[in-house]
Amino acid sequence: MSFFKGFFYAGRGLLSALSERNFRFHLCAAATVIFFGAKFYSFRISEWAILLLTCAVVLSLECVNTALERLCDKVCPERDDLIKKCKDIAAGAVLIAAIFAAAIGVVLFWNIEKFAEIAFFFSEPIRLILMIVGFAAEILFIFLPRKKHNNQGE
């Protein structure tokens, strides 16, 4: 396999991950915090590194969880207690990362003065409408069913 084929397969894997509602949720959450961080906060480089790394960890663990679930379903399509435990543990890893990501978000974003600035920014009707449309688009992106991708044929 050539070096560049690896990027192709990884990209195909990310497209496959987009078929998962939880991955889409975490992707939208990451996009939202990055937008708000860039627009309203003057984060230092270390804070940006923490924020971006936190997003990457949650999204990466969601991909690993999805891959493990699919592998388990392929290897053992019938109900099996050990397979269930493996899938639950992998989902638990994502939950741990998501809880700590939320805590990091609180630490980085909790600023009453910034909240007032954000509220003032969105008090202009066109900005408020654009924000509502943006969030509605995220909700549709998250909850509308997606076609499952089959990544076999390497």
CA 100 to chain centre: 14
- In sequence order, which residues have a C-beta less than 8 Å from that of residue 105 and are 6 or more positions away? 33, 54
Q: Which of 20, 62, 124, 154 is catalytic?
A: 62
Secondary structure (3-state) at 122? coil
Please tell me the distance from the alpha carbon of residue 59 to that of residue 26, in angstroms, as a whole number: 6
- Is 78 a residue of the active site? no
d(CA 55, CA 112): 23
> What is the identity of the amino acid at 115?
F
Centroid of chain to Cα 14: 12
Residues annotated as part of the active site: 62
